[in-house]
């Protein structure tokens, strides 16, 4: 699984613990731990909640890929997740 999320980094910048973030978005601390360790990607429905809880634009949750040397499959995976997130935000499924 390619690292595409900056949740752990943003939590550090904002001084928010896993426990605090979990409470803010009403999930278990284990869920936040799995997201931070990249064991699981968050459900798409959590992305807007994560962005709000971390006080960032949803796009800031993702690691920029422009200019990076990554494989085509990693780019496709990242694009798919971003498109799904944007569709969710705009009310599309």
At 29 the pLDDT is 94
| Contact call for residues 10 and 21 (beta carbons, < 8 A) | no
Q: What's the rounded Cα separation, in Å, for the pair 1 and 91?
A: 27
Q: What is the pLDDT tens value at each position of the chain, 93 positions in all?
A: 456 788 999 999 999 999 999 999 999 999 999 988 877 788 888 999 999 999 999 989 988 766 655 667 777 887 888 888 888 888 765
Where are the chain's structural domains? Answer: 7-89
The CATH H-level superfamily of 7-89 is lambda repressor-like DNA-binding domains (1.10.260.40)
Q: What is the pLDDT of residue 64?
A: 75
């Amino acid at each position: 699984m390619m690292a595409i999320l900056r949740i752990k980094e943003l939590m550090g910048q904002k001084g928010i613990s896993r426990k605090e973030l979990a409470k803010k978005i009403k999930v278990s601390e284990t869920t936040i731990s799995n997201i931070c360790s990249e064991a699981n990607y968050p459900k798409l429905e959590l992305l807007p909640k994560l962005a709000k809880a971390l006080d960032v634009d949803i796009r800031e949750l993702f690691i920029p890929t422009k200019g990076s040397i990554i494989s085509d499959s990693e780019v496709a995976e990242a694009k798919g997740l971003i498109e799904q997130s944007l569709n969710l935000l705009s009310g599309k499924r």
